[in-house]
A and B are shown apart, each in its own frame.
Chain A
């Protein structure tokens, strides 16, 4: 049983990486006041460009870099539309996702049946080999691919960036009150561009991680909705970095359970009362498709609970989220 638990937790950790990347990116963008519904599209572009680069050069590090940068480049379009042209953020994001999904499926067709050598399973440099020897935790945390470690390392970096640096605090301020930030001398437009581009970079990294490390293949639509889950994750986390990470592991647990629920075959002994009804309910709630709804259901529940507790839906979210900023005009 121990080995099942270890393997299961290790699967959770590697499944969480994509949510950590994409969720932290979405968090930074939203904290600066720009909703990004284009994550799924940016991830797909990152996945394909990273894959193609690796296939051509044989260098998966270069692939990861190109994948991340492609996400950032696509996010520039979103930034331009939302920040410079004051376009509706939700619609621009949907457009980015349609564009990313359509273009990668269109241009990626020849790469679908190919294979590459992606990131191998490895240990952290220097102390890694000792850490990997640790009982249980060694396998769960310290024997992963390099992109998993990068995601883990990003967690404190993003937290420190947002709360401990001037740029981070300025970034938060333009998401809360752009007018005041502007009068205080914060470059509102630059800050928002920066946040959206970091978000795109992380989304691209999430995609490249999928095609170079998690799966090492390209198939059209391979992100399979993880970008949308990242959007839900940030709301679920009520825009706090620590909770984004916790949520990433929770949602990854749903995902890992989903893959294994068939083999688990949990059931309630027949001699207990209501065992028939309970087993039916268990079968329903452990069904893979039903489990796929959990991230969305819990996010809606969190929205309702928070609103009921505070009687104000705008307390938790960045006050200027989804609002474009325009100096003096209008």
Chain B
């Protein structure tokens, strides 16, 4: 018997697919990762116990998760907002790095009371991030130069500049390592009373709420969504596409820069050339998982924070190489883009005989 695969575009996405996709994606990624654990002779049940149960049931694990979630939420938003306009900010990593560097520079070179110094640091970070996101945004808005390429190129410029400044102009006095001095106590984000997490969390949640309002309550947010979903409709209704493109990438750059400076001022306390494990790239699966809304994005960021913290404890407890986290991230993206296809198209496997009449009506309807 002969079988045929028939692919037809869907008119609307069934609810179970829309809601099931993120869950299915994460489960599938973890199952496949379990196979790689077995391949190196680890017990996946034990591994995932350390990764999830140990992380989510201890107060240390929980507070570490929230601390990690802060830069991930900011970085996720940095990809999410341009994505709404159908632009890919692949370079959140670079914007994050320049934000961290600019903020650290202010923290180490100016003395002021905390209520002035911290805002000044975030302002400096925002300025640097706005430039790093704004250049690709401007190139896209003015000349249509592909933002995927430019944000990516800008990232590698930023990473190498970081390595320059921590070895050269901003190198600390103590020790032989390429790193800056410790931030003074007034330049570090204070803790939230009662829990072992810094106020960066409040700022990150503020960013999520602001993004939510941007897209549900403001005209600008509406314009971004229109440009992202239908360029022709946007042009017809007189929306200035160039202005939207510039805005989303500048906003993305600022948010990514906040990820950088909140990681330095809230967690690491000094700038090093390898100060973070690629949060700017993790932002991509976060934004993909949470692309249906700012609050879902926050959940996705917390999920990846659990992976980072849990991956570390798994690595320490049973010696699994921590590169496993990268594999999980890649698999999450892999299954998400695969699921995207099944969201858009209905795939049916039919035997030749059953198919014929339905095909006739299909072609008739199409033309």
Given A99-B331, A105-B323, A300-B153: A293 touches B337 (CB 8 Å cut-off)? no
How far apart sit A109 and B143, CA to CA, in the bound complex (Å)?
45
| A307 near B145: Cβ-Cβ < 8 Å | yes
Is A4 in contact with chain B by the CB < 8 A criterion? Answer: no
A289: which B residues are within 8 A, CB to CB?
Answer: 160-161, 163-164, 167
Interface stretch, picked from A8-16, A63-71, A227-235, A267-275, is A227-235
Of B8, B144, B284, B337, which is within 8 A of A314 by CB?
A: B144
A96: which B residues are within 8 A, CB to CB?
Answer: 330
B334: which A residues are within 8 A, CB to CB?
Answer: 77, 81, 95, 99
A90: which B residues are within 8 A, CB to CB?
Answer: 88, 90, 148
Q: Which residues from chain A sit less than 8 Å from chain B, CB to CB?
A: 35, 37, 77, 81, 85-88, 90-92, 94-96, 98-99, 101-103, 105-107, 109, 220, 225, 228, 231-232, 235, 287, 289-290, 292-293, 296-297, 299-300, 303-304, 307-308, 313-314, 322, 328-330
Is B157 in contact with chain A by the CB < 8 A criterion? Answer: yes
Is B168 in contact with chain A by the CB < 8 A criterion? Answer: yes
Given A91-B284, A107-B40, A289-B167: A313 touches B145 (CB 8 Å cut-off)? yes
Of A86, A98, A107, A300, which is within 8 A of B330 by CB?
A: A98
| B330 near A95: Cβ-Cβ < 8 Å | yes
How far apart sit A289 and B157, CA to CA, in the bound complex (Å)?
9
Q: Which residues from chain B sit less than 8 Å from chain A, CB to CB?
A: 7-9, 36, 39-40, 88, 90, 139, 143-146, 148-150, 152-154, 156-157, 160-161, 163-164, 167-168, 281, 284, 288, 321, 323-327, 329-331, 333-334, 337-338, 340-341, 344-345, 366
A-B contact pairs, 5 of them (CB 8 A): A85-B340, A99-B330, A107-B39, A300-B153, A322-B148
The 9 A-B pairs at the shortest CB distance, nearest first, are namely A102-B326, A99-B330, A105-B323, A289-B164, A98-B330, A102-B327, A95-B333, A87-B337, A85-B341
How far apart sit A330 and B344, CA to CA, in the bound complex (Å)?
10
**Minimal beta-carbon separation of B338 from chain A (angstroms):** 6
B153: which A residues are within 8 A, CB to CB?
Answer: 232, 296, 299-300
Instruction: Given contacts A88-B88, A105-B321, list 5 more A-B pairs with CB under 8 A.
Output: A90-B90, A102-B325, A300-B154, A307-B144, A330-B9
| A313 near B324: Cβ-Cβ < 8 Å | no
How far apart sit A81 and B156, CA to CA, in the bound complex (Å)?
26
A287: which B residues are within 8 A, CB to CB?
Answer: 164, 168
| B321 near A109: Cβ-Cβ < 8 Å | yes
Given A106-B321, A109-B321: A293 touches B152 (CB 8 Å cut-off)? no
| A329 near B7: Cβ-Cβ < 8 Å | yes
**Minimal beta-carbon separation of A44 from chain B (angstroms):** 11
| A102 near B9: Cβ-Cβ < 8 Å | no
| A102 near B88: Cβ-Cβ < 8 Å | no
| B341 near A86: Cβ-Cβ < 8 Å | yes
| B338 near A304: Cβ-Cβ < 8 Å | no
**Minimal beta-carbon separation of B178 from chain A (angstroms):** 10
How far apart sit A91 and B139, CA to CA, in the bound complex (Å)?
21
Given A289-B163, A292-B160: A102 touches B149 (CB 8 Å cut-off)? no
| A37 near B337: Cβ-Cβ < 8 Å | no
The tally of CB-CB contacts under 8 A between chains A and B is: 134
How far apart sit A296 and B136, CA to CA, in the bound complex (Å)?
13
How far apart sit A67 and B339, CA to CA, in the bound complex (Å)?
30
B366: which A residues are within 8 A, CB to CB?
Answer: 328
| B157 near A297: Cβ-Cβ < 8 Å | yes
Given A92-B337, A94-B333, A106-B321: A303 touches B150 (CB 8 Å cut-off)? yes
**Minimal beta-carbon separation of A314 from chain B (angstroms):** 7
A37: which B residues are within 8 A, CB to CB?
Answer: 90, 152
Given A90-B148, A313-B144: A290 touches B164 (CB 8 Å cut-off)? yes
How far apart sit A169 and B154, CA to CA, in the bound complex (Å)?
34
A88: which B residues are within 8 A, CB to CB?
Answer: 88, 337
A81: which B residues are within 8 A, CB to CB?
Answer: 334, 337-338
| A225 near B156: Cβ-Cβ < 8 Å | yes
Given A95-B337, A98-B333: A304 touches B326 (CB 8 Å cut-off)? no
**Minimal beta-carbon separation of A292 from chain B (angstroms):** 4
How far apart sit A330 and B9, CA to CA, in the bound complex (Å)?
6
Given A85-B338, A106-B321, A287-B168: A91 touches B149 (CB 8 Å cut-off)? no
Of A91, A102, A220, A304, which is within 8 A of B337 by CB?
A: A91
Query: Which residue of the partner chain A has the closest CB to B169?
Result: A284
| A94 near B90: Cβ-Cβ < 8 Å | yes
A101: which B residues are within 8 A, CB to CB?
Answer: 323, 326
Residue among B9, B146, B168 with most chain A CB within 10 A: B146
**Minimal beta-carbon separation of B94 from chain A (angstroms):** 10
Of B149, B164, B330, which is within 8 A of A303 by CB?
A: B149
| A91 near B88: Cβ-Cβ < 8 Å | yes
**Minimal beta-carbon separation of B7 from chain A (angstroms):** 7
B325: which A residues are within 8 A, CB to CB?
Answer: 102
Query: Which residue of the partner chain A has the closest CB to B94?
Result: A296
A296: which B residues are within 8 A, CB to CB?
Answer: 153-154, 156-157
Residue among A85, A99, A289, A314 with most chain B CB within 10 A: A289
| A322 near B341: Cβ-Cβ < 8 Å | no
| A304 near B139: Cβ-Cβ < 8 Å | yes
How far apart sit A297 and B167, CA to CA, in the bound complex (Å)?
21
**Minimal beta-carbon separation of B148 from chain A (angstroms):** 5
| A293 near B157: Cβ-Cβ < 8 Å | yes
**Minimal beta-carbon separation of B199 from chain A (angstroms):** 31
**Minimal beta-carbon separation of A26 from chain B (angstroms):** 12
Given A220-B323, A228-B156, A303-B150: A85 touches B164 (CB 8 Å cut-off)? no
| A300 near B150: Cβ-Cβ < 8 Å | yes
| B326 near A94: Cβ-Cβ < 8 Å | no
| A313 near B281: Cβ-Cβ < 8 Å | no
